[in-house]
Amino acid sequence: MSEKPTIEAYKKNIQEENFKAYKCTNCGAVINPPSGSCYNCGGNVMEWATVSGKGTLISFTIITIAPEEFQKEAPYYIGIVELEEGTRVTARLKGFDVENPAGVELNIPVLLDYEHGESGNTYLAFRPE
Amino acid sequence: MEPCPRNRGAGNLPLDKTNVVSGAMTKFGKLEDVTLREMFAEAVDKATLGAGIPKKDIQAAFIGTFIPEMFIHQGHTAPLLLDFAGLKGISGTRHEAACASGATALRAGIMAIESGLYDTVLVAGAEKMTSVSTLLATEALAAAADDEFEASIGLTFPGVFGIATVAHMRKYCTTEEDMARVAVKAHKNASTNPLAQFQKEITLEKAMKPIYVAWPLKLFDCSPISDGAAAIVLTSNEKAKEYTDLPVKIIGTGQASDSMNLSGRSELTSFQSSVAASKQAYKMAGLEPKDMDFAVVHDCFTIAEIIASEDIGFFKPGEGVKAVNEGITALDGDKPINPMGGLKAVGHPVGATGVKQAYVVYKELLGEAGPNQVVNHDVGLMHNFGGTGATCVVNIMRRADA
């Protein structure tokens, strides 16, 4: 955990289903996605942070018209989740009915998970707790 | 120290030198057989020769284009466009800030005049988008979002605004029908604008057609893919007299940025860059939202117009919808918004949009907007934002005799 975090390693961690956020060594704020400076104190030295995976759904959409790379996966949910560590994550949502987005409540608890897309990528995802 | 009576601007920087003396736009839409340089030259010719301004008077040019590299495989557009338009030799710089490219070019022009470096400059914007397939155009537009962390999981541009919409709906009870009314208004205003991409009114029923792009945004919530160009000429106070008896003054300007990532924002029902940029512009002009007669805002999606009308302080957060439903933002309302039809119905050639907005405010202020003329037209505001709102520019303009 002492190594300096890099964006390449951050993305590799997600592919390996081992998500880690950044953490400011100065004030301890957990930061995601990777940033070169801390939103809280301006510190610029980061380390890795493991997270509990517990979060709250802030908002979402369903992508129906998708870019070519993702067309086979559409329609799919993308949401903004606030982790209990305080930082927010843009991720796929799984386990929600694409036919009934109006029925999806905000501020519900969600859990960190991963989704294997037909594009061959593994996405960071959240599912209902 | 005596308080400044007009409270103009941080760093004591009142804008008191910049005049808009002419403006023009091409038709917006799918312009078959018209290349980027040809539409640029058309707008420039109208704004210079068409207004009695010799091209030799133009000392520098500030040009907004978003991503011609992907649309027409062309970088380094400023000298290319200037050469074709008969302005070879002068200083020319391209400005890129996604959908706010045009307004950032305009800000550079304002700074050039205010500093005294030049006394006559061209500000222009252009984009040729229909040269590629819709799929490729979508991909090009996606480059205005954070590719590494958001586009890479399949988030699209409409998706970003879909997320903002859901947040706004759940917080303020905004409905899909409310947003459809913004589209109906845009098409109504554009129906009498001969340069608009769409010149036909639409019914509420049509706007509500459930063709989802990114739930809850539907086809008629989205601005189209367009070609087009716009140009204006800015001068110093002295120089303005040579070209017109009635210039329009730019009296306040603001610009701010925000995280590209939506996850980097604590608020999704408002764009902080819009709030910050408009505050700067109001402070510089010594004016408040209540002093504005009308606004031209960045309605890339219907929800964006509603949020912008709140962010620029015309309405309280959550009350933008009420204003649409009560007709306050209609052409004949108390606070008209996008009187010519906005991006939604006039079209959105990305690099041209910010300059086109300044042109619309200019025409309205002069009282030359024909069937699209707003009743009160002394002071107007333009709001142009880039991408997901990561850049926002707000300018306040006033007719010189007002």
> In a structure prediction context, what are the per-residue pLDDT tens digits for chain A, which is 129 residues long?
558 999 999 999 999 999 999 999 999 999 999 999 999 999 999 999 999 999 999 999 999 999 888 999 999 999 999 999 999 999 999 999 999 999 999 999 999 999 999 988 999 999 999
Q: Are residues A71 and A119 in the same domain?
A: yes
Per-residue pLDDT, B138: 85
| CATH number for A64 | 2.40.50
Q: Are residues A45 and A90 in the same domain?
A: no
Query: Residue A1: inside a domain, yes or no?
Result: no
Task: Reply yes or no on whether B99 is catalytic.
Answer: yes
Per-residue pLDDT, A67: 87
Q: How many CB atoms lie within 10 A of CB B116?
A: 9
Mean pLDDT of the region B198-202: 98
From edge to edge, which strands make up the β-sheet containing A21-24?
A30-31, A21-24, A46-49
Q: Are residues A64 and A11 in the same domain?
A: no
Query: Residue A38: inside a domain, yes or no?
Result: yes
Rounded to whole angstroms, the Cα distance separating B351 from A45 reads 37
Q: Are residues A85 and A105 in the same domain?
A: yes
Domain count, chain B: 1
Answer yes or no: do A88 and B138 touch at CB < 8 A.
no
Amino acid identity at B102: G
Q: Chain B contact for A9, CB < 8 A?
A: no
Query: Residue A24: inside a domain, yes or no?
Result: yes
Classify residue A35 as exposed, middle or buried by CB count within 10 Å of its CB (0-12, 13-18, 19+).
Answer: middle
Q: Are residues A63 and A105 in the same domain?
A: yes
Domain count, chain A: 2
Which is the catalytic residue, given B348, B377, B383, B392?
B348
Q: Are residues A61 and A98 in the same domain?
A: yes
Report pLDDT digits (tens) over A32-68: 999 999 999 999 999 999 999 999 999 999 999 998 8
Which is the catalytic residue, given B99, B222, B300, B392?
B99
* DSSP assignments along B258-287, one per residue: --SSGGG-S-SSS-HHHHHHHHHHHHHHT-
Question: Does residue A15 contact residue A122 with C-beta atoms inside 8 Å?
Answer: yes
Q: Are residues A39 and A64 in the same domain?
A: no
Instruction: State the angle between helix axes of B157-172 and B134-142 in degrees (0 to 180), rounded to the nearest 10.
Output: 70
Answer yes or no: do A61 and B215 touch at CB < 8 A.
yes
Q: Are residues A37 and A63 in the same domain?
A: no
Q: Are residues A90 and A122 in the same domain?
A: yes
Q: Are residues A94 and A114 in the same domain?
A: yes
Task: Reply yes or no on whether B187 is catalytic.
Answer: no
Query: Residue A2: inside a domain, yes or no?
Result: no
Q: Which residue of B has its CA nearest to A79?
A: B163
Q: Are residues A45 and A86 in the same domain?
A: no
Query: Residue B321: inside a domain, yes or no?
Result: yes
Q: List all residues 6 or more positions away from B253 whose beta carbon is below 8 Å from its beta carbon.
A: B15, B107, B110, B280, B281, B284, B393, B394, B395, B396
Q: Which domain holds residue A33?
A: 7-49
Query: Residue B196: inside a domain, yes or no?
Result: no
Is pLDDT at B9 greater than 50 in this prediction?
Answer: no
CA distance A14 to chain B (A): 11
Q: Tokens representing B182?
A: 């913004």
Is pLDDT at B11 greater than 50 in this prediction?
Answer: no
Query: Residue B1: inside a domain, yes or no?
Result: no
Is pLDDT at B1 greater than 50 in this prediction?
Answer: no
Share of chain B above pLDDT 70, in %: 97
Q: How many CB atoms lie within 10 A of CB B170?
A: 16
Q: Are residues A33 and A82 in the same domain?
A: no
**β-bridge mates for residue B383, sequence order:** B394
Rounded to whole angstroms, the Cα distance separating B326 from B348 reads 27
| CATH number for B31 | 3.40.47.10
Rounded to whole angstroms, the Cα distance separating B69 from B65 reads 10
Q: Is the peptide bond before B3 cis (omega within 30 degrees of 0)?
A: no
Q: What is the pTM of this model?
A: 0.96
Per-residue pLDDT, A65: 92
CA distance B261 to chain A (A): 8
Q: Which residues of A touch B217 (CB under 8 A)?
A: 61
